[in-house]
Amino acid sequence: MVIAASPVIVALDYAEMAPALELASALDPSACRLKVGKELFTAAGPLLIERLQGLGFEVFLDLKFHDIPNTVAGALRSAAAMGVWMVNVHVSGGRRMLEASVEAFANVATPPMLIGVTVLTSMDAQDFAELAYKGSLGDQVLRLANLAKDCGLQGVVCSAKEATVLRQELGSTFALVTPGIRPAGAKADDQRRILTPAEAMEAGASYLVVGRPITRAADPAAALEAINSSL
């Protein structure tokens, strides 16, 4: 596999394997990494991961595990056996689940990067208020990010709009993976808390998850190049 020089992670938000592989074949593995989420992985399974790795890509397996500690640990060991580059869990699963997640990689020679999901970037303040959490959405993100770091995770998924505060609080080496990235002029789609790629990097993001602005572009490789150039 090629180690990408870019912070861009392209989200393969497809329902089946064929278009995902077609898109991947049009991109350069030195210019991005690829993210496989629930819909695509449920349809295509580990074979897709193997095919993407065969094209040279590092893969972020975005399944957001959230279950009892033993179940999550077993799922993470299976992910590590596939050789994925990054995998994630929901921080709201709690300390015991997070510590079991870290321990799952204790005997793995080259473990994936393990990150935690704080608050989904599709949520806004009104959505958050309906869940009756205490404090603000930003408070919850910071609380969960601190818990993730304390339990030994290597980073979190967060909105780029929260990256500045998290970077200040959690230090320079803690990874901040930011969905909701939209180039200037692009549609927000179902994301709410969004920034441009350059704004997100300036705010302290480590990795930028970009989907439809690349995958639905007339020329995906050119769209990716434009984003990388903007950085």
| 195 annotated to a ligand binding site | no
| 69 annotated to a ligand binding site | yes
| 167 annotated to a ligand binding site | no
Looking at 64, 149, 161, 187, which residue is catalytic?
64
| 139 annotated to a ligand binding site | no
| 182 annotated to a ligand binding site | yes
Whether residue 154 contacts residue 113, with contact meaning beta carbons closer than 8 Å, is answered with yes
| 63 annotated to a ligand binding site | yes
| 215 annotated to a ligand binding site | no
| 161 annotated to a ligand binding site | no
Three-state SS letters, the chain: CCCCCCCEEEECCCCCHHHHHHHHHCCCCCCCEEEEEHHHHHHHCHHHHHHHHHCCCCEEEEEEECCCHHHHHHHHHHHHHCCCCEEEEEHHHCHHHHHHHHHCCCCCCCCCEEEEECCCCCCCHHHHHHCCCCCCHHHHHHHHHHHHHHCCCCEEECCHHHHHHHHHHHCCCCEEEECCECCCCCCCCCCCCCECHHHHHHHCCCEEEECHHHHCCCCHHHHHHHHHHHC
| 71 annotated to a ligand binding site | yes
Q: Is 64 a catalytic residue?
A: yes
| 107 annotated to a ligand binding site | no
| 194 annotated to a ligand binding site | no
221: Cβ contacts below 8 Å, ≥ 6 apart: 26, 27, 28
| 35 annotated to a ligand binding site | yes
Which sequence positions are flagged as catalytic? 64
Annotated binding site: 13, 35, 62-71, 121, 182, 191, 211-212
Known binding-site positions for substrate:
13, 35, 62-71, 121, 182, 191, 211-212
